[in-house]
Chain A
C-alpha cells in the first residue's frame, strides 16, 4: 500500500504543493536533454550518411573537450586552441575514414559497429596518454560563455536558471538550424542526403563516398566539440562524460536513428522525464532510477512505434 501511495499519489501532491520545484526540475531536465540531443545528433548524422552506428560519439565528446582544455593548459590562447581542436577533429575524421571505414566498406552493420568500439577504446587510451586522466576545468569564461544564474520569482518560490544553460540552448538551436540549412540548401548537403538514401545510387551519379564520410564525421566531431564545451562548463571535463553517451542511446530509439528532429525531441523528453522521475518517483524505488529510467521509457515508446517517434516507416520486403 505504502509503495502504491508513493508511486501514484505522493509525487502529484508534491508537484501541486511546490510548483517551483517542478518547474526547476523540468528546466534542469530540459537542459540536460539539450546535451543528450546534441550527442544523439552526432549519432544520427553518421548513421544517416553511412549506416554506421557510431558508438564512439560519446568518447569523441570527451576527446574534443580534453584537446581544447589540454591545449589551453599548454599556454595556447583560448580561441586559437579552439581552432586547433577543430583541426584535430578534422584530422580524426580523415583518419577514421582512411583507416577504418574504407577498408570495412560493404561489411555487415555489426562489424562496423564493433569497429567503432575499437575506436572508442583507442580514443580513451590516446586521450589519457596525451592529456592525463585527471578531471579538468572547462575554459568557459575564456571562450566568452556567461557565468552565474538568473533567479526568477515563481509561485512563491525561486526558479534559478544558469546562464550557461541558456547559452547552451541557444548555441544548440543555432547549430541545429545551421545543420538543417546545410542539409537542405547546399550541394554537399544534397549529396549527403543522397548517400543516406542509397549508397549505390549515390555512387552511380558520381558522389564520392569517401568525401561524404569525411564531411559527416567532421560534422559529428564539431557537434561533439560543442557538446563537450557545454557539458564541461556545467561540470568538468573527464572521462566520466562517457556515461552521457549511454544516456543518448535511448534518445536515439525514442527519436529514431535517422531523424534529426527526433533526436532533439527525444533528448528533451528523456532529459525532462528522467529528472522528474528521479526527483518525484525516485524515493519510492530507493533512488538512482535515472540509470535505467530512460531505457524503460524508450522501450514503452518502442512497443507502440518500433521505428521511433520520427523514424521513417520501416518497410520490409522478402
Chain B
C-alpha cells in the first residue's frame, strides 16, 4: 500500500539515474538521517553513543572500504587491520607534528597516506588472486603491526607504545577529540564523515569506476579483453579501499578509543570487518551498516541479555558460550542467507511492493 512506485513517472534522464528512484526510499532515507542527526544526539546518553553508535559508524566505514575491495573489485583482503593502523598512526604523527592543522584535514591526510600504503601492498594482486592473495595481504597485516610496534618514531618515542589523541576542535571550542570532547560532538563528527564518504562510495560504485571493478571481479581476463586495464583498476580499488580503512583507523584512534596501541589493530579486527561485509552482504553499500551493527551489537547482547533475563552465569562461561554462539550464528547466517542481510532487506522490499495483494 504504502511502498509502491505506481504513478511515479520519470520525465528526465536525471530522474532516471537517481540513486533512489522510488520516492518512499528517499523519504525513508531522509527520515533516517533526521533521526541520526537530531534524535540520536538528543536522546542518546554517553553509553549509547560511545559503545554503540560511534563504533557502528566507524566499523561501517572500514567495512565500506573492504567491501569496495572485496565485494566490488573481488580482491579478497585480510589486511584491513594493518591499513587501519596506518591511518591511526599517520593521524597521530600529523596531529602532533602540525598542531595547527584542523582535525578534518588530519584524518583526511592520514587516510590519503593509507591509500598510498595500500597502493604499495596492492601490487601483488596483479600477479596472484583468490586465496593466494588473501594470504599475501596477511603479510601487510603482520608487517605493518610489527613496524608500528618496533619503531619508536611512530609513537613519538613514548615508552608505553600507546598513541593518545591530542585535544583538537573542528572550530573554536567544539572539541571532537581528547578527553574534553562531548560524546554528542564526537558522534556528529563521525556521522558527518561517514555520510559524506558513503555518498562518495555509492556514486563511485555505480559509475564507470565501479563497473570496471565489477567486471574485474566477475572475470578479470574477460574484463581485460573488453578494454579495462587490470593494473589501474585493481590498484585504484586498493588505494580507495585503503583510504576508507585508514580514515576508519584514524577515527578509531582519535574519536572512539582516544588512545590505542598497535595490537588494537591485530588480525582479529581484520576478520571482524570481513565478517561484517559477509554478513551484511558482499557488493552492497547498505550491507556494511547492517553488518557492522550486527557484529557490534551481538557481543553486547550476549553480555547484557542473560542478566537482564534473570540468569546468572559465571563470566568465563559466558565468554566461552558467547564465542560458541558467535561461531554457530555465523555458520547459520551463511546457510540461511549467503548473500547477507541486504538480501533479506531486498526480499522484504519486494514483498512490501505487492502487499497486501500478492497476486
Chain A residues close to B by CB (< 8 Å):
53, 99-100, 103-104, 107-111, 113-115, 117-126, 128-129, 133, 246, 249-250, 252-253, 257, 285-289, 291-292, 295-296, 298-299, 302-303, 306, 308, 316, 318
Contact = CB atoms under 8 A, between A and B. Distances in A.
A291 B140 CA distance: 11
Given A107-B338, A122-B324, A125-B321, A100 B131 contact: no
A117 B326 CA distance: 10
Given A296-B143, A299-B136, A118 B331 contact: yes
Contact of B139 (A99, A114, A295): A295
B138 interface: yes
A120 B271 CA distance: 12
Contact of A296 (B139, B225, B322, B324): B139
Interface in B313-340: 316-317, 319-331, 334-335, 338
Given A253-B132, A295-B138, A111 B324 contact: no
Interface residues of B, number: 46
Contacts of B271: 117
Nearest to A303: B127
Interface string B121-165: 000100110111001101100110010011100000000000000
Given A122-B331, A296-B139, A117 B275 contact: yes
B94 interface: no
A114 B274 contact: yes
B138 A126 contact: no
A292 B331 contact: no
Interface of B: 70, 76, 124, 127-128, 130-132, 135-136, 138-139, 142-143, 146, 149-151, 219, 221-222, 225, 267, 271, 274-275, 278, 282, 316-317, 319-331, 334-335, 338
A250 B139 CA distance: 9
A107 B339 CA distance: 10
Give 10 closest A-B pairs by Cβ, nearest first: A121-B327, A125-B323, A122-B327, A118-B330, A125-B324, A295-B139, A292-B142, A118-B331, A129-B320, A103-B335
Given A119-B327, A253-B135, 8 more contacts: A115-B335, A117-B274, A121-B327, A122-B327, A129-B324, A246-B138, A298-B139, A318-B222
A302 B127 contact: yes
Given A118-B328, A118-B334, A129-B320, A288 B142 contact: no
B136 A253 contact: yes
Of B127, B319, B334, B335, the most chain A CB neighbours within 10 A belong to: B334
Nearest to B317: A129
A312 to B, nearest CB: 13
Contact of A121 (B131, B142, B146, B324): B324
A103 B271 CA distance: 23
Contacts of B138: 246, 249, 295
